[in-house]
A and B are shown apart, each in its own frame.
Chain A
Amino acid sequence: MINVTIDGHKIQVSEGTSVLEAARRLDINIPTLCHIPGMDAEGFCRVCVVELVGARNLVPACASILQEGMKIITDSPRVFNARRQVLDLLLSKHNANCFACYKHGDCLFHRYCLEYGLQKSSYEHLQAWKPIDDSNPFYNFDPNKCILCRKCERICAEKQCVEALALCERGFDNHIAPAFDAPLGNSACVSCGNCLTVCPTGALYPKTLLSGHYNKMTETVCPYCGVGCKMGLLTHEGRVMGVQPLKGAANDGLMCVKGRFAYNFIQHPDRLKKPLIRKNGKLTEASWEEAYDVIIKAWNKAKAVGGGSAIAGLASARCTNEENYLFQKLLRGLGNTNNIDHCARLCHASTVAGLQMSFGSGAMTNSIAEITDMDVIFVIGSNTTETHPVIATKMRQAAKKGAVIIVAEPRRIELCNDAQFFLQIKPGTNVALLNGMLKAILEAGLENKNFINERTEGFNELKAYLDTVTVEECAEICRVEAALLRKAAETYARAKNAGIFYAMGITQHSTGTDGVRMVANLAMLCGQIGKEASGVNPLRGQNNVQGSCDMAALPGDLPGYQKVADPKAREKFSKAWGLPVPETAGKTVSEIFNAIDDGEIKFLYIMGENPMVSDPDLNHLEKVLAKIPFLLVQDIFLNETAAFADVVLPAASFAEKDGTFTNTERRVQCLHKAVKLPGEAKADWQIITELMNKLGYKASYSHPAEIMAEINALTPSYGGITYNRLENGEGLQWPCLNEEHKGTKFLHKDKFTRGLGAFAVCPYTLSREVPDTEYPFILTTGRVLYQYHTRTMTGKSAGVQEIAGEPYVEINRLDAHSLGIANGDKVTVSSRRGSVITTAKVVETIGRGVLFMPFHYSQAAANRLTNKALDPYAKIPELKVCAVKIYKA
């Protein structure tokens, strides 16, 4: 601690404290325009100057670190005058047309000017105003309002790591613009909007000028991907005006384009406002009572015919923990069925299965904040910059700090620009690649023998198997250079702290569980797990897919992964609920649809899902859905699946309800109601509660907190995650066993959940469908940054539609050339299951013989082509590999 004096106040501060920080602690107001808390102070603006007794010149408070005995004066006439003069200079180059400004009333620069008695600049000169750059679909840049605090440039370069904004020219002509003064719309900008967040003036502003004018900010969580960014929903008298990123543990104040700008679905006119009942083949508006009558009748009828096995439900990774919990309680307790599943089956079922077998629990072992402390980051089967943008920024920040990124992907994804190793593998060969890496590490003698001996089992079997393979043959299978594979593997093994990140590229295969187990093998072989900044990290796709799994929207599990097969667990729940918990194993998504096809299931309840775009082999699914006796859909929009429904119930979006989401790093965070529900729509938990009551069960939840209390009591890993704590803190990471438990930053410290980590022997096998002469290409699918999943939400944003509104298929330049396909040509892509017409995008980033399609678009749905071949353990379909042909349409 050091002793200093500020304006006569004696204060003790820790070493490294800046004058600004210390002054703020004393409630001394020092103006600053260029300082970003948590980032290096640069001292650009010079508005924060203070007097340091003994120094010749004034010093900037933000960048001056206090030393023992320093005396600081912040309120002398000299300081006041200097600040006023500096503000005057800034004002002399600022277009103070405040009336037309987005920041009017909320402008830091304006406030300081008024505070220092400046209403207009004292310098007279002609201004040549520059044109506004409005080429980005989400925001504009007005250089005439820019005061060159350079926060935007720094956040873009140092936090977002995109470097779209730069400082051009020199001296008085300095200005912010993309390199070479390119328009923003034609730059590296990813429209994350983080520059808007830090801009102190109205120089960077959203297209909708009015969005700066709000009278309420509701703290909540972004409804898109699994990162779980904290954000403020800005509203004015019930109208959603915009989004303000907040500093959460996961996002550190950053957001991506979807969460930041694609919010207008919330109050979109297409929102469902009344229940719909199919009458004479047409969905017509009805009252809730009518709808409930029809539902109960159908439920009872199905149950009478086939008992519990005639009923099934698909829960939602978009809904809250509480809602998923209630959903499975309804189906298990009142429907007497374990036929509950949800879209996690299509994304991380293999993770849940594989990591459970290897470690004992299937979730990200590290926290997002640990990424920047990693020395090696191995990304396999994840296009992180597009699917988990904020996590990707953390990876890039780590790379800036010196971390080595290894990417294994069929496409040269954006992250490759920051990577030192890129292994362009053939789709479907993850297992071979990882076997090769394991073998290379063993050959180099880099395995962590202590870790293997003390914390794992099954190593000898694995080693015996690896004795039968060579690095060269594995590399051959993946179509990568053996030397490169070896080097990447050795780099991973040598790292002090290494994290593996993977997503659908590992899981969505008929060998998905093997892929996951191989990832676990790699981490255990090198001892890169169970410690800070080292681990195995499946990146969960949806905002609450972790939570919906935790809440047991799964056929074989009860909340907190307590097993249905375990009689004690069943007994615990049935006792608590006062309802019997069925013993019969439930069906997975694909099995449910097959059972509908077979006529076994007669009642399907889909809450907040859209399988008619997201599931494989849509042509088949279309027939199945047409066949089902009763389909109940509960959603916020009349989506592709709802078109088949018998009853559609209008539900609440994230902005209209309270609840909790669990993000990919196991962090439970609260969302809050910001606006009222559209029309007669109800929150999902309310609908389920009402249905329970209609079915004769006394349920009286008046707020999700009450549901959470029930979860706390029944789910050990959620034992201490109470609303009381969540509302007063940062969010808690499970396992959090009781009220005193602080939550768990990283998993498997000292001991794996299952005791010893289990090595697995996983020989490489071919994908279920491989190219042949008729269907010579491998089709792989994925996502793009701007769209989310089945586009029910992002599809409503004009900006998103402008940038990424159209479906396409990526094809290698050489393949395209040999087929006579040019960029932009209409092409037909066909598999054995269907065919779609889309637009060719000729690229060099994809390997030869491979095609890529984003799956978001129903107008050219990639899932009409995909294969529903299943992984034997996890029952996940092989969405990432199928054989197709392509020709000019």
Chain B
Amino acid sequence: MKIRSFDDLKQYKKSLYGNKKTAKYTVLVGMATCGVASGANTTMTAFEETVNELGLKNVTLKRTGCIGYCFLEPIAEVIDEQGNSTIYTKVDKAKVAEIVSSHLQNGKPLTEGVIKPDMQRINLAEVKPIQKRQLRVALRNCGVIDPESLDDYIKYDGYMALAKCLFELTPNGVIEIIKRSGLRGRGGGGFSTGLKWSFVAKENAPVKNIICNADEGDPGAFMDRSILEGDPNSILEAMAIAGYATGAAHGYIYIRAEYPMAVKRLKIAIAQATEMGLLGDNIMGTDFSFDIQIKLGAGAFVCGEETALIHSIEGKRGEPKMKPPYPAKRGLWGEPTCVNNVETYANICPIIIKGDQWFNSMGTTKSPGTKVFALAGKINNVGLVEVPMGITLREMIYDVGGGIVDGKAFKAIQTGGPSGGVIPYTMLDTPIEYDSLVAMGSMMGSGGMIVMDEDDCMVNIAKFYLEFSVEESCGRCTPCRIGNKRLFEILEKITNGNGTMDDIRKLKELGRVIKDTALCGLGQTSPNPVLSTLHFFEDEYIAHVVDRTCPAKTCSSLIRYFIMPDKCIGCTLCARVCPVSCIDGERKALHSIRQHECIKCGACMDACKSNAIVKR
């Protein structure tokens, strides 16, 4: 059917609740990329087969998106009639059998492998005070609804926000709400979304465009993918709202081709929404029309920069261009264009429905709302979390993230990907918001957080990010094209043990010039990892060039492996695993490493059971 009015939509939503009798148990299997990669397909099939075999009529199986606990996938959630939820982790075939026989057949939930997330999902229909550490606004539907079902989305108040805009608000009214909400761009820059919309709206042009930037490129960031895989319709709806507010009739989702599942679900969502008259011509019977096209990117990091992204859609080389003019004035095909990130759009519908005051009651004054972070690195709870802005790093790492792996010492955290910088252990109590991060020489970026412990060498970390920037530089401007390469070469020299104090001076000077002169945001921020590690950990650099040692014992040119005579029991294990056979020693006798042949792979150290091998 086609929705032709607000009442149509309300009626339709009602009908979704009315007709079907709720099953006794609903089983949700997390089938975003992280789930599938961990074997969620097998889990789902196992559930289907078992439920069919046993003829369980009172169980509904549903696929859903990611709930963020990626390190515990595959995850299955069982919800009973009363709404009690049990979340099972690492659900393999055997676990499925257990769950079915104990929980679904006999009503006894298992206790093993169950988590109780410290997480609260917002409900668009009601207002509840924040009770839990994690607060899901952008991720509200991920892990709850079936992303391939428009009905499911509508059941959770889908397209109500768009309807409210079309039937109750003027375009300017929409922009005012977004402005007042204080929502800032979640792609990293943190520019006011409402302001951006108002710039596009005030341009007088026959054709305007809305772009959704889904070219998630920061290493270690995957919140956009998760939203698109778990709740694609929320993005479509928000884009249509942006179109209505700014006077644009065409939307483009620029998404990397490496996200096939997200692309597939977006395609399904677009087709379903168009079919129902929620996208396309005369949306919900009004004279507002909005269509959405998907444009696949080839995975260049720089295409996440909005002007490069626009070039790429136009079929040109993915290179940024000078701003101003900003896309809001001259964007895609030279027309006024509004470019927002996926997570930004994911916040729009809740703001429209629940109001700007609700939104800026969360987070801090300057950075209201919540932010999704992708936690990675040496942290226990690897995955996606959504927290109110302003939470401190300490809370993030130790409470939400579950602390450092193996109880080691926290050293630093890298935020903002290759454009960001490191924040050292000394600043654990800094609140996380746009401006405080910039003040520390880093940035919000898209929300990737990589946690490093005592074993991570800061010079090496800087080199790693620089290598990424060199690889991904488009080469349009000199400082980024050649400058980053030279920075990288100097870092390589230092980690190889050939650095000098002059090299450290050069790093600082060149880094600053690149920041000062590069053409686009990516170039201007690419030296951040070097400059921030230099700022907080200059002693580590000096140790590399003056003492020729790597304090974290990571840089292979600067370390040697030794066998401690008092600990070696002569088990020969190390000699057997050495890939270059450079360990000598008879059984039950002290072993020794021929240093000039050693390639410092560390295999012997990992293999030794008596901790007799040390790095120095």
Contact = CB atoms under 8 A, between A and B. Distances in A.
Given A46-B477, A123-B486, A171-B471, A41 B322 contact: yes
Contact of B485 (A41, A44, A58, A172): A172
Contacts of A63: 322
Interface string A51-62: 000000110100
Given A42-B322, A170-B473, A171-B481, A57 B516 contact: yes
Interface residues of A, number: 34
Interface stretch (A83-91, A276-284, A496-504): A83-91
B391 interface: no
B21 to A, nearest CB: 58
B286 interface: no
A57 B471 contact: no
B508 to A, nearest CB: 12
Interface string A614-625: 000000000000
A78 interface: yes
A174 B475 contact: yes
A57 B509 CA distance: 15
Contacts of A673: none
B516 A58 contact: yes
B474 A89 contact: no
Given A89-B479, A89-B482, A171-B470, A42 B321 contact: yes
A477 B489 CA distance: 71
Nearest to B486: A123
Contact of B317 (A90, A125, A167): A167
A45 interface: yes
B170 to A, nearest CB: 31
Contact of A171 (B473, B510, B524): B473
A78, A92, A123, A147: residue with the most chain B Cβ atoms closer than 10 Å: A123
B481 A43 contact: no
Given A41-B322, A42-B322, A58 B517 contact: yes
A30 to B, nearest CB: 14
A57, A78, A89: residue with the most chain B Cβ atoms closer than 10 Å: A89
Contacts of B519: 43-44, 46, 60
Contact of B517 (A86, A147, A169): A86
A714 B519 CA distance: 61
A798 interface: no
Contacts of A531: none
A45 B485 contact: no
Interface in B427-451: none
Interface in A1-51: 41-47, 49
B598 to A, nearest CB: 27
A688 interface: no
Given A44-B477, A89-B478, A123 B324 contact: no
Given A58-B516, A65-B324, A170 B475 contact: yes
Interface string B452-495: 00000000000000000011111111110111111001000000
Contacts of B324: 65
A687 B230 CA distance: 90
Interface in A138-177: 147-148, 167, 169-174
A843 interface: no
A41 B477 CA distance: 13
Nearest to B480: A171
Nearest to A173: B475
Contacts of B478: 44-47, 86, 89-90, 147-148
Given A60-B322, A82-B513, A89 B475 contact: no
B140 interface: no
Nearest to B514: A85
A47, A49, A148, A172: residue with the most chain B Cβ atoms closer than 10 Å: A172
A287 interface: no
B378 interface: no
Given A85-B509, A170-B473, 15 more contacts: A45-B478, A46-B477, A46-B517, A46-B519, A47-B478, A49-B517, A57-B517, A85-B510, A86-B517, A89-B479, A92-B482, A123-B489, A171-B473, A171-B485, A172-B475
7 contacts: A44-B476, A86-B478, A93-B482, A122-B506, A123-B486, A125-B486, A169-B475
Chain A to chain B: the 7 pairs with minimum beta-carbon distance, closest first: A174-B475, A171-B473, A89-B482, A85-B513, A171-B475, A63-B322, A172-B485
Interface of B: 300, 317, 321-322, 324, 470-479, 481-486, 489, 506, 509-510, 513, 515-519, 524
Interface of A: 41-47, 49, 57-58, 60, 63, 65, 78, 81-82, 85-86, 89-90, 92-93, 122-123, 125, 147-148, 167, 169-174
